[in-house]
Amino acid sequence: MSNRRRVRVGLKVIHRHRIGRHTLRRVSELVFLQDEPKAVLAWIDMAGDRVPVYLDLDPRRLRAPRGVKGIFYYDGVTTDPRFVELDDAPPAATRRP
């Protein structure tokens, strides 16, 4: 478990990322699971196990610049699933003064 605390340098993806109404440029870790590209947004701790929060990326929109190793660009906008409003969620409770 102690080896997980070391810094790991791997592939990176630069993408436009939307959180709510705001869009920003973000650098995320890029991993491939079963040859499918994923952008790792964060790591969360679930009962002592580190679990990634990741997004599926369209492989047709992923490109690697010439002469640069380990960096990819994503020609699309990603959305953080942790901040997406649910359509079937009950309305927010109103506060009464």
- The reply to whether 96 falls in a domain is no
- The reply to whether 49 falls in a domain is yes
Per-residue DSSP letter, 91: P
Closest CA to 29 of 1, 57, 5, 3: 57
The tens-digit pLDDT sequence of the chain (97 residues) is 555 555 566 899 999 998 878 889 999 999 999 999 999 988 888 888 888 888 999 999 999 999 988 999 999 999 887 776 655 556 665 566 5
Helix (H, G, I), strand (E, B) or coil at 3: helix
The reported pLDDT for the residue numbered 12 is 94
- The reply to whether 52 falls in a domain is yes
- The reply to whether 22 falls in a domain is yes
The reported pLDDT for the residue numbered 46 is 87
Q: Give me the domain span that covers residue 10.
A: 2-81
Query: Could you count the other beta carbons within 10 Å of the beta carbon of residue 57?
Result: 21
Q: Token pair of 24, please?
A: 């920003």
- The reply to whether 33 falls in a domain is yes
- The reply to whether 76 falls in a domain is yes
- The reply to whether 95 falls in a domain is no
Q: Token pair of 32, please?
A: 């491939």
Number of structural domains the chain divides into:
1
